[in-house]
C-alpha cells in the first residue's frame, strides 16, 4: 500500500517537472537523430519578384520553407544629375599665374636671369616667370597696377581685364596669362589606391579621370563600399557600377575639394541594435558570420524582444540597398537555413512587433547617427543625409 502511494507521488512530481520545463522551453526539442529537409532556394535573400511569386504557386512554398526572410524590398537612390562644368580652367586661391605684359619685366610677373631689370631689358637678356600667387581672397598683386581680383575667372577673362588696364601705362600693350602652378582645385584619393594622396586638377575632371590619378586600386579594394564625399556629405554615386559595369550615369564631374575613398575589403563588420545587451559594430571573421552568431554575440535582453520580425538593412552599393524582415525564430526551430550576413549589414532586434519600415527606421535612426562615419554609403545617403 505504502509502495503504491510512493509510486503515485513520484509520477505526480515527474509530471509537474515535465510541465514546468516544457513551459519554460521556447523551442520544441527534436529527438536525437532527427533529419529535417530544407530546400535551398539558391540565393541568400528573397527579392521583390520572388516574394510576389510566393503568394501563390508551388515555387513559393519551397522558397518560404528554405528562407527565413518573410519580406524584402529593393531600395534605390536616384543618381546625381549635374550640368557639365565650363571646359576652361577657372582660377582660384593659391594658383600661381604667369603674366607677361609686352615682354616688359617691370610690368610682368617676370624677373631677369642676371643683372638688374633695366640693364637686362636694354641688353635683351632672357627673363623667366616667377609668377603671381592668388591669395586667399582671390587677388593678385602686379607692379604699378596693384591688386587685381581674379578668383572665379578664366585665363581669357583675366587677360581681357588686364588689357583694359595697361593702356594707361603702355602704348599698344599685349598680355599673356598662363597658369604656372595649379593649386586651387585639389582632389583627395584615400584608401586602397596604388597611389593615394592629394592631386590638383588642371582642367575639368570626371570621376573616372579622378580615380585614374591614383594609378588604379589594389586587390584589397572594396568597391561596393567606395564613396565620393563632397562638403562632408556622401554623394549618390555608384563607383562600383562605374568601374565594373561602365555605367556612365555615375561618371559625374568632380569639384574642388572632392574626396574619393575606397575602403579595405578586409575591414568587414556588421552593426546590431535594439533588444540586445551589446549593441554596436561587430567584426566579421574570415570564416564569415551568420545572423544566429551575431545575435548570440550581442546577447539578447532577458525579456522584451520579438524574434519573428528582425529587421536587416543591407547595402548592395552606394545607390542600392535592400530592406529585409527575417523570422529568426524560424532559423532557431530548424525550419530555415542560417542567414549569412554581409559587410555593412544593420541588424535591428525589435523590442516588440513593429509596424511599417518607417516605424523601424524611426527607432533605429538614433543608433545609426551615432555610427554614421563607419556605415555604408547607401545608409548615409538614404537615411542620414536628409
Q: Tell me the mean pLDDT in the region 165-177.
A: 95
For residues 152 and 193, membership in a common domain is answered with no
Give the pLDDT confidence score for residue 40 in this predicted structure: 56
Look up residue 328 and give its three cell numbers. 529568426
Give the pLDDT confidence score for residue 165 in this predicted structure: 95
Residue of 207, 248, 246, 213 whose CA lies nearest to 230: 207
**Segments forming the whole domain that contains residue 190:** 186-262
Asked whether the predicted pLDDT for residue 27 surpasses 90, the reply is no
For residues 377 and 274, membership in a common domain is answered with yes
Give the pLDDT confidence score for residue 47 in this predicted structure: 40
Domain end point (choices 144, 164, 181): 181
Asked whether the predicted pLDDT for residue 59 surpasses 90, the reply is no
For residues 249 and 282, membership in a common domain is answered with no
Give the pLDDT confidence score for residue 114 in this predicted structure: 42
Asked whether the predicted pLDDT for residue 302 surpasses 90, the reply is no
In a domain, 296, yes or no: yes
For residues 177 and 204, membership in a common domain is answered with no
The enclosing domain of 119 has a CATH number of 3.30.1950.10
Q: Tell me the mean pLDDT in the region 21-31.
A: 46
Instruction: Tell me whether strands 280-283 and 127-129 are parallel, antiparallel or unpaired.
Output: unpaired
Look up residue 67 and give its three cell numbers. 528562407
With beta carbons less than 8 A apart as the criterion, state whether 74 and 322 touch.
Answer: yes
Domain end point (choices 221, 239, 262): 262
In a domain, 36, yes or no: no
Question: pLDDT of 113-144, one tens digit each?
Answer: 444 444 444 444 444 557 899 999 999 999 99
For residues 108 and 196, membership in a common domain is answered with no
Q: What's the mean pLDDT when you consider all of the chain?
A: 84
Strands (E), the chain: 69-76, 96-101, 110-112, 127-129, 132-133, 139-142, 146-149, 175-181, 186-191, 197-200, 227-230, 233-234, 259-262, 269-274, 280-283, 310-315, 320-326, 346-349
Q: Tell me the mean pLDDT in the region 199-205.
A: 97
With beta carbons less than 8 A apart as the criterion, state whether 198 and 183 touch.
Answer: no
For residues 284 and 366, membership in a common domain is answered with yes
How would residue 355 be classed by pLDDT, with cut points 50, 70 and 90? confident
Asked whether the predicted pLDDT for residue 301 surpasses 50, the reply is yes
Question: pLDDT of 206-263, one tens digit each?
Answer: 999 999 999 999 999 999 999 999 999 999 999 999 999 999 999 999 999 999 999 9
For residues 272 and 349, membership in a common domain is answered with yes
Domain end point (choices 228, 262, 296): 262
Q: Based on the structure, what is the number of domains in the chain?
A: 3
Asked whether the predicted pLDDT for residue 291 surpasses 60, the reply is yes
In a domain, 240, yes or no: yes
Strands (E), 32-104: 69-76, 96-101
How would residue 354 be classed by pLDDT, with cut points 50, 70 and 90? confident
Give the pLDDT confidence score for residue 112 in this predicted structure: 42
Grouping H, G, I as helix, E, B as strand and the rest as coil, residue 270 is: strand
The enclosing domain of 253 has a CATH number of 3.10.560.10
In a domain, 35, yes or no: no
In a domain, 84, yes or no: no
Q: Tell me the mean pLDDT in the region 9-38.
A: 49
Give the pLDDT confidence score for residue 45 in this predicted structure: 42
Amino acid at each position: 500500500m505504502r509502495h503504491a502511494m510512493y509510486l503515485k507521488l513520484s509520477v505526480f512530481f515527474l509530471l509537474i517537472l515535465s510541465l514546468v520545463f516544457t513551459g519554460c522551453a521556447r523551442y520544441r526539442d527534436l529527438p536525437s537523430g532527427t533529419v529535417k529537409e530544407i530546400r535551398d532556394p539558391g540565393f541568400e535573400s528573397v527579392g521583390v519578384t520572388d516574394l510576389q511569386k510566393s503568394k501563390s504557386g508551388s515555387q513559393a512554398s519551397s522558397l518560404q520553407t528554405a528562407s527565413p526572410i518573410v519580406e524584402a524590398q529593393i531600395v534605390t537612390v536616384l543618381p546625381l544629375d549635374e550640368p557639365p562644368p565650363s571646359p576652361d580652367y577657372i582660377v582660384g586661391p593659391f594658383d600661381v599665374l604667369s603674366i607677361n605684359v609686352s615682354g616688359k619685366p617691370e610690368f610682368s610677373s617676370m624677373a631677369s636671369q642676371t643683372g638688374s631689370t633695366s640693364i637686362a631689358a636694354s641688353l635683351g637678356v632672357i627673363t623667366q616667370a616667377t609668377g603671381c600667387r592668388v591669395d586667399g581672397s582671390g587677388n593678385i598683386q602686379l607692379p604699378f597696377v596693384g591688386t587685381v581680383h581674379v578668383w572665379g575667372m578664366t585665363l581669357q577673362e583675366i587677360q581681357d581685364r588686364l588689357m583694359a588696364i595697361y593702356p594707361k601705362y603702355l602704348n599698344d600693350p599685349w598680355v599673356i596669362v598662363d597658369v604656372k602652378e595649379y593649386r586651387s582645385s585639389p582632389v583627395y584619393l584615400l584608401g586602397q589606391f596604388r597611389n593615394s594622396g592629394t592631386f590638383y586638377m588642371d582642367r575639368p575632371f570626371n570621376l573616372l579621370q579622378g580615380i585614374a590619378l591614383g594609378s588604379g586600386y589594389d586587390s584589397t579594394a572594396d568597391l561596393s563600399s567606395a564613396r565620393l564625399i563632397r562638403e562632408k556629405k556622401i554623394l549618390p554615386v555608384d563607383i562600383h557600377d562605374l568601374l565594373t559595369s561602365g555605367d556612365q550615369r555615375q561618371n559625374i564631374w568632380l569639384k574642388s575639394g572632392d574626396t574619393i575613398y575606397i575602403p579595405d575589403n578586409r575591414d568587414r563588420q556588421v552593426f546590431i541594435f535594439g533588444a540586445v545587451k551589446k549593441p554596436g559594430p561587430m567584426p566579421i571573421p574570415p570564416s564569415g558570420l551568420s545572423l544566429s552568431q551575431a545575435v548570440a554575440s550581442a546577447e539578447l535582453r532577458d525579456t522584451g524582444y520579438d524574434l519573428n520580425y528582425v529587421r536587416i538593412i543591407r547595402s548592395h552599393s552606394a545607390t542600392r540597398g535592400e530592406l529585409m524582415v527575417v523570422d529568426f525564430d524560424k532559423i532557431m526551430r530548424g525550419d530555415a537555413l542560417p542567414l549569412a550576413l554581409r559587410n555593412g549589414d544593420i541588424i535591428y532586434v525589435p523590442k516588440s512587433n513593429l509596424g511599417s519600415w518607417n516605424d523601424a527606421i524611426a527607432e533605429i535612426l538614433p543608433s545609426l547617427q551615432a555610427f554614421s562615419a563607419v556605415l555604408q554609403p547607401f545608409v548615409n545617403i538614404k537615411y542620414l543625409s536628409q
